[in-house]
Amino acid sequence: KSAVTVTNLHYTYPNTTTEALAGVSLTIQEQDFVAIVGQTGSGKSTLVSLIDGLIQPDSGQLNIAGMTIDATAKASQLSKIHHHVGFVFQFPEQQLFAETVAEDIAFGPHNLGWSEEKIQVAIDRALMMVGLPLELKSRSPFALSGGQMRRVAIAGVLAMKPSILILDEPTAGLDTQATNELLTLIKKLNDNGTTIIMVTHQMEQVASYANRVIAMNKGTIIADTTPQQLFSHP
């Protein structure tokens, strides 16, 4: 089953002249773990921002969770995407803000209008998913290690139970051990049914975790293949 379909998407940022996305079409299946690769400025962030409804296409369309988003979609329609898609920004720990870990994780579910009871259950579940002990709930997020802070930030996204998870360079700045732990966690989420879309620069991550690699250049997709194909040398 397809999770996301984009059809001939075009996007140009305000006050710029070059298209950041110059006609992208793509179908992502529910069980996919997609790695998006390409040089800086190739359009990776723009593509995932469109999939998350953070920006609206100039033309073309996005089909996600039974919704169709195009240039005429209303803002309220775009923000409904957040009920289905979780977005882990680059260095997500920089967006931690609350006095306790629990409050920080509660922020997203609270925005979605969930009951306090449902939120408390979601916090515990999310902490377990990222492999952090529940004792951390009452601690300050700022007293944790870098790897733990990042997990708390990711737990805040997972608490909203997204069926599609987008991660922008999720392991940037982490040491080898924290990187491997985080990728193993992401792979487990994928095995349990979450669609993963991960922007990355690290080819070893592509090879070991993704089932599909999309390479971008100048706002277009120049390859859409398996890691095996990409790394095989004839």
CB under 6 A: which stretch of 25-33, 82-90, 114-122, 187-195 binds ligand ADP?
82-90
Q: What's the distance, CA 138 to chain centroid?
A: 27
Alpha helix ranges (H) inside the chain: 44-51, 75-80, 101-111, 116-129, 146-158, 176-191, 203-209, 227-231
85 scored as a contact of ligand ADP (CB under 6 A): yes
* Pattern 149-188, ligand ADP, x by CB under 6 A: -----------x----------------------------
Tell me, what amino acid is at 57?
A: P
Label each residue of 147-182 as H, E or C. Answer: HHHHHHHHHHHHCCCCCEEEEECCCCCCCHHHHHHH
Q: Which of 82, 110, 161, 201 binds ligand ADP (CB under 6 A)?
A: 82
Question: Which CB, 77 or 180, lies closer to ligand ADP?
Answer: 77
17 scored as a contact of ligand ADP (CB under 6 A): no
- Shortest approach of ligand ADP to residue 138 CB, angstroms? 22
CB under 6 A: which stretch of 13-21, 23-31, 174-182, 220-228 binds ligand ADP?
13-21
Residue 133: how many CB atoms within 10 A of its CB?
Answer: 9
122 scored as a contact of ligand ADP (CB under 6 A): no
Distance CA 146, CA 21 (A): 33
3-state secondary structure of 52: coil
Distance CA 18, CA 100 (A): 43
Q: Which of 3, 20, 155, 198 binds ligand ADP (CB under 6 A)?
A: 20
- Shortest approach of ligand ADP to residue 187 CB, angstroms? 21
- Shortest approach of ligand ADP to residue 234 CB, angstroms? 28
161 class by beta-carbon count within 10 Å (0-12 exposed, 13-18 middle, 19+ buried): middle
43 scored as a contact of ligand ADP (CB under 6 A): yes
* Interacting residues toward ligand ADP by CB under 6 A: 13, 16, 18, 20, 38, 40-46, 52, 79, 82, 85-87, 108, 111, 160
